[in-house]
């Protein structure tokens, strides 16, 4: 057991070291939506539960503040367009705010600490799927060291807690969807509580409700009473927790705006809309910008999307991504005729849902940010490990040392990529 824990402990040390560099060196407020997230905590610390209002969003003010790197003449207090968000992450940050007098770096490091749970749960999920430890560690390295993901985890942003809850749910569901594995009733109750906490954290967790429902139906299709019983154990606690927030929103915003999103969408006047881009650039160019920017910003496009890496870096990442994708196709071809395992299908659906949500959001607003795929980072990491490992598999019997080349090679490559991102992209802007 200790031989398994040692690499994970080492990975977590690397995660905290590199993540801390992002937290310390990224200039104040130069992370997506960070001032708005910070202001939710500030209001809670002052004893007020935020309410989304018309004055919370001013596109011209925000654009000028970003372009001038948030000078003192542009205070962040008016930037409050995240006031509609569920409160759990911000409530967790409030003691840190109070203890440190609102120190931004301390709050960033607390987010980084929460994000470490994604690394742990991603590793444990990979172990539930793979018998090969090398694939487990390739997955873990991928999840740990994507530069953009580290930068987001090291900022004040509710993504860290949302991703942790999703990662915990995936770990449970990968086990529960396996009909050969016995389960405890308490596991389903925990899933319900986690889903309810997700409802209190961020909208990206909501899709897990459909994943859980599908898992229940698959597992208990031949035992309808058990299906109903376990479904109630999941959705009653989830609904009770979520209902606290939904009821509050209905009371505050009216019109059955239980998520507050309708109020948010009405407030963010001036935010770029996809229809405007299509009118200006056409469908083909808008789609090309969407795909290109999503890919770039999945790996690393920092600040408010204004600090990209060099084009040759993205070209290299394109080759790596293509190798992983083709490797996955080769793996599927080699397994043709064999039924995919239920956990694999589950994770594929999670990835599909994340893509659908990302595309769907961009049908209205221009939000070509690859971080919106991070809720599916664990399935993506698992696929990358399998795809890259497929290129090694034919030679592994003759050259056993090659089996370790994927996790070790990924580790070295991503360490260099993070070094480049920190010292060539971010550091010059922080001096």
366-390 tens-digit pLDDT: 889 999 999 999 999 999 999 999 9
Q: What is the mean pLDDT of the chain?
A: 94
Q: Would you list the DSSP string of 254-313?
A: -TT-TTSHHHHHHH-TTS-BHHHHHHHH-HHHHHHHHHHHHHHHHH-EETTTTEE--HHH
Distant-in-sequence, close-in-space partners of 60: CB < 8 Å, separation ≥ 6: 270
Average pLDDT over residues 35-62: 95
Decide if pLDDT at 106 tops 90.
Answer: yes
Supply the pLDDT for residue 256: 92
Average pLDDT over residues 79-107: 97
Local confidence band at 224 (pLDDT 50, 70, 90 cut-offs): confident
Tokens of residue 307, six digits: 């600090």
User: From CA 256, how far away is CA 242, in angstroms rounded?
Assistant: 14
Do 200 and 244 meet the contact criterion of CB atoms below 8 Å apart?
yes
- Terminal Cα distance for the chain, rounded: 45
Give phi and psi for 307, each to the nearest 5: -120, 80
Average pLDDT over residues 221-225: 88
Lowest average pLDDT, out of 20-34, 64-78, 181-195, 391-405, goes to: 391-405
CA angle 79, 83, 86 (to 5 degrees): 145
Q: Would you list the DSSP string of 18-82?
A: HHHHHHHHSPTT-STTHHHHHHHHHHHHTT------GGG--HHHHHHHHHTTS-TTS-STT--TT
Supply the pLDDT for residue 431: 66
Give me the number of domains the chain comprises.
1
Decide if pLDDT at 168 tops 90.
Answer: yes
Local confidence band at 397 (pLDDT 50, 70, 90 cut-offs): confident
User: From CA 309, how far away is CA 213, in angstroms rounded?
Assistant: 41
Average pLDDT over residues 175-189: 92
Q: Which tens digit of pLDDT belongs to each residue from 260-303?
A: 999 998 998 877 889 999 999 999 999 999 999 999 999 999 99
The answer to the question of residue 292 being in a domain is: no
The answer to the question of residue 412 being in a domain is: no
Give phi and psi for 277, each to the nearest 5: -65, -40
User: From CA 376, how far away is CA 347, in angstroms rounded?
Assistant: 8
The answer to the question of residue 21 being in a domain is: no
- In sequence order, the β-bridge partners of residue 307 are 302
Domain that holds residue 211: 158-267
Decide if pLDDT at 401 tops 80.
Answer: no
Chain centroid to CA 321? 19
The answer to the question of residue 338 being in a domain is: no
Decide if pLDDT at 1 tops 70.
Answer: no
The answer to the question of residue 67 being in a domain is: no
3-state SS, one letter per residue, for 193-245:
HHHHHHHCCCHHHCHHHHHHHHHHHHHHCCCHHHHHHHHHHHHHHHHHHHHHH
User: From CA 330, how far away is CA 325, in angstroms rounded?
Assistant: 9
Local confidence band at 10 (pLDDT 50, 70, 90 cut-offs): very high
The answer to the question of residue 360 being in a domain is: no
The answer to the question of residue 194 being in a domain is: yes
The answer to the question of residue 163 being in a domain is: yes
Decide if pLDDT at 3 tops 90.
Answer: no
Give the predicted TM-score (pTM) of the model.
0.96
């Amino acid at each position: 057991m200790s031989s398994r824990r040692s690499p994970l402990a080492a990975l977590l040390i690397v995660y905290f070291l590199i993540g801390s560099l992002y937290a310390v060196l990224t200039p104040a407020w130069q992370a997506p939506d960070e001032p708005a997230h910070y202001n939710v905590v500030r209001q809670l610390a002052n004893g007020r539960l935020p309410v989304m209002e018309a004055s919370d969003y001013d596109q011209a003010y925000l654009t000028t503040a970003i372009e001038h790197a948030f000078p003192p003449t542009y205070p962040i207090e008016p930037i409050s367009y995240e006031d509609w968000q569920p409160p759990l992450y911000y409530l967790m940050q409030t003691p840190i705010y109070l203890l440190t007098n609102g120190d931004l770096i301390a709050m960033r490091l607390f987010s980084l600490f929460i994000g470490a749970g994604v690394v742990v749960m991603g590793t444990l999920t990979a172990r539930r799927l793979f018998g090969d430890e090398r694939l487990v560690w390739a997955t873990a390295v991928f999840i740990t060291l994507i530069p953009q993901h580290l930068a987001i985890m090291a900022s004040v942003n509710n993504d860290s807690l949302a991703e942790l809850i999703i990662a915990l749910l995936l770990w449970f569901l990968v086990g529960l969807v396996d009909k050969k594995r016995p389960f405890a009733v308490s596991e389903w109750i925990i899933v319900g509580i986690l889903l309810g906490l997700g409802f209190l954290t961020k909208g990206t967790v909501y899709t897990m409700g459909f994943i859980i429902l599908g898992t229940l139906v698959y597992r208990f299709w031949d035992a309808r009473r058990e299906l109903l019983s376990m479904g109630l154990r999941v959705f009653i606690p989830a609904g009770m927790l979520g209902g606290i927030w939904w009821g509050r929103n209905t009371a505050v915003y009216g019109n059955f705006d239980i998520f507050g999103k309708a109020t948010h969408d009405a407030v963010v006047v001036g935010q770029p809309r996809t229809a405007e881009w299509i009118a200006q650039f056409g469908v083909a160019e808008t789609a090309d910008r969407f795909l290109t920017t999503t890919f770039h910003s999945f790996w690393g496009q920092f600040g408010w999307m204004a600090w990209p890496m060099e084009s040759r870096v993205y070209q290299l990442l394109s080759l790596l991504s293509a190798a992983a994708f083709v490797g996955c196709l080769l793996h599927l071809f080699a397994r043709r005729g064999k039924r995919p395992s239920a956990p694999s299908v589950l994770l594929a659906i999670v990835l599909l849902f994340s893509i659908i949500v990302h595309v769907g959001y961009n049908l209205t607003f221009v939000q070509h940010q690859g971080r919106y795929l991070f809720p599916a980072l664990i399935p993506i990491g698992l696929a990358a490990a399998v795809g890259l490992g497929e290129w090694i598999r034919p030679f592994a019997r003759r050259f056993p040392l090659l089996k370790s080349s994927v996790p070790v090679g990924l580790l070295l490559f991503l360490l260099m990529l993070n070094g480049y991102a920190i010292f060539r992209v971010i550091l010059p802007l922080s001096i």
